[in-house]
Amino acid sequence: MRLDLTRTWADARALLRANADAISALAGMFILLPGIVSSWLLPEPKVLAAGASLAAILRANMDYMAASWPIFLLSALVTAFGSLSLLSLLVHRSRPTVATAMRMGLAALPVYLLASMLQTLVMVGGMMLFVLPGLYLGARLICISVVAAAEERRTPFALLTRSFQITRGNGWRILLLLSVMLIVSLVVSEAAVAVFGIVSTLLLPADIARLIGIAVSSLVAAAFSVAVSLVCASIYRQAIAPPPPVPTIRWHGRG
């Protein structure tokens, strides 16, 4: 299957329009809110003197991670659960309700986390080969979350293999699309944080100004995360035959 990027983006937008309320609620609760809370709780990184040695930089990073890993881990778990629940709503053939999709997301979470660890190892190995292979492998494995949400694959290796099947022949196109999305997200985030940061710093107390900056950056990051999930859902929908109609999420009723 040759991936049509125009169709992919159009289908992702259609999924968003048809289910904007439910997507906003789930993303706000399980992606945006954990991002804000974790960013607020994280300790301030140690400021190193100019010209610090590589050993000092590595030691400072290790100390920071040692102090921060519980917050990172909890935030990652909640965010992964939210993304899997959202994808279950969008792609599972049973057309689940929100409550049922959340149970599906929780059930898929362990195998997805193991697959994510393997994905990271594969990407790191590829990054050691002049960076680009790692990025390409990341694009090929981008669909492990939607596979975990849509199909009953019980092992992390099955998720990785299925993602490779879905993205076969389209790794570079997917990498291009994700790169454009990431660049846009970074530009918007930097601009928004700069504007709101200047205004809030001038007009508000320091703690409130910091909270506003965290909220703005977390909002852009959450929007990017949802956009990636929608694109993954669209790629998956194109890969299966026949492609299902755009679902409308049900909050109540039989799942």
- How does pLDDT run across 133-161, given as a tens digit for each residue? 889 999 999 999 999 999 877 799 999 99
pLDDT on residue 199: 86
pTM of the predicted structure, to 2 decimals? 0.87
pLDDT on residue 255: 40
Question: What does the pLDDT look like over 7-47, one tens digit per residue?
Answer: 899 999 999 998 888 899 999 999 999 999 999 998 877 77
Instruction: Please provide the DSSP assignment of 126-184 as one string.
Output: HHTTTSHHHHHHHHHTTTHHHHHHHS---SHHHHHHHHHHHTTT-HHHHHHHHHHHHHH
Q: Percent of the chain scored above 90 by pLDDT?
A: 55
Buried b (16+ CB within 10 A) or exposed e, 149-175: bbbebeebebbbebbeebbeebbebbb
Interior CA angle at 163 toward 183 and 180, to 5°?
Answer: 10
Question: What does the pLDDT look like over 54-78, one tens digit per residue?
Answer: 777 778 788 888 888 899 999 999 9
Q: At residue 241, does pLDDT exceed 80?
A: no
Could you give the CA distance from residue 184 to residue 191 in angstroms, rounded to a whole number?
11
Rg of the Cα trace of the chain? 19
Question: What does the pLDDT look like over 156-174, one tens digit per residue?
Answer: 999 999 999 999 999 999 9
